[in-house]
Amino acid sequence: MTDDIIKYRGWLLQSDRLGTEKLYKEVTLSGTEECNCGQCKEFLTIRDYLYPDEIRGLFTKLGIDINKDFELCDYGDEETGHVYSWWFHFVGKIIEGDDCSVALQAGGYTMNLIPINEFFKIGFTKNISMSFFEGRNDLIQVELWAEIPWDTSVLSKLNTSYEK
């Protein structure tokens, strides 16, 4: 295992990039590609425009195949537009920084994600939901959230350059 130490915003992450890349090569289709619902089909039409360059660069460093999300949830409606939550995994650990999964007093949990731009948020957690890579205890889940208007043409006009 070759570990890379990656500083990203408020986190210090340890990543086995090559191990993660190897796992993703075994995945043939993303969760959204396997699903036939309208929300997943719509997501696939905007996926290439949705990710900020900053996230694309981070995923390359972590070894994550950006086209192989595990699951997509759509919480949007006619008023809010698209409200997507989805996740990926990488082999590694969080060395420094907050785990985005926050336990609720009444039970369950919520996600405390940080904004990347006006549409996009990210966080990391040791609390693994469903995964392509079942049975592994060395994974970190990357939680993503996007709130975008129904008119998705704004995505192609975004300045997605990294801001330190």
DSSP letter at 118? S
State whether residue 70 is helix, strand or coil. Answer: coil
| Confidence grade of residue 2 (pLDDT, cut at 50, 70, 90) | low
Residue 164: per-residue pLDDT:
30
**How do residues 86-124 score in pLDDT, each as one tens digit?**
999 999 999 999 999 999 999 888 999 999 998 999 999
Determine the Cα–Cα distance for residues 121 and 114; give it in Å rounded to an integer: 5
Residue 67 clears pLDDT 80, i.e. is over it: yes
Between CA 67 and CA 110 the distance in angstroms is 25
Three-state SS at 54:
helix
**The model's pTM:** 0.90
Q: To 10 degrees, what angle do helices 17-25 and 53-62 make? A: 100
Report d(CA 102, CA 36) in Å as an integer.
31
Share of the chain above pLDDT 70, in %: 93
